[in-house]
Amino acid sequence: MENRSWPKCLKCGKGDLLPLSDFGSQGAPIQYKAWVCTNPDCRYNIKIRNGEIYLNEPILDGALHTRARREYTP
């Protein structure tokens, strides 16, 4: 059991803000690059990119990712 809890989403008050990590262009891990509400009806999100904060960017749905992955498949 993980003994930590995520901060509650202040927008909807139902979901939790979940930290997401990414990998940089050099393959270095970027921890907690973005925080996203777990409530699918809310999708409040905050992320940092190139030192700037982005609030509530639209979340891409799976179709775009699928297409991108197919293009990169050898």
> Can you give the binding site for Zn ion, defined by CB under 5 A?
9, 11-12, 15, 37, 39, 42, 44
CB of 53 to Zn ion, least distance (A): 17
CB within 8 Å of 5: residues ≥ 6 apart = 16
Between CA 56 and CA 57, with CA 18 as vertex, the angle to 5 degrees is 15
Q: Which is nearer to Zn ion, 19 or 23 (CB)?
A: 19
The secondary structure of residue 46, as a DSSP letter, is: E
Q: Which is nearer to Zn ion, 7 or 66 (CB)?
A: 7
Q: Is 72 helix (H, G, I), strand (E, B) or coil?
A: helix
Q: Which is nearer to Zn ion, 23 or 32 (CB)?
A: 32
CB of 28 to Zn ion, least distance (A): 30
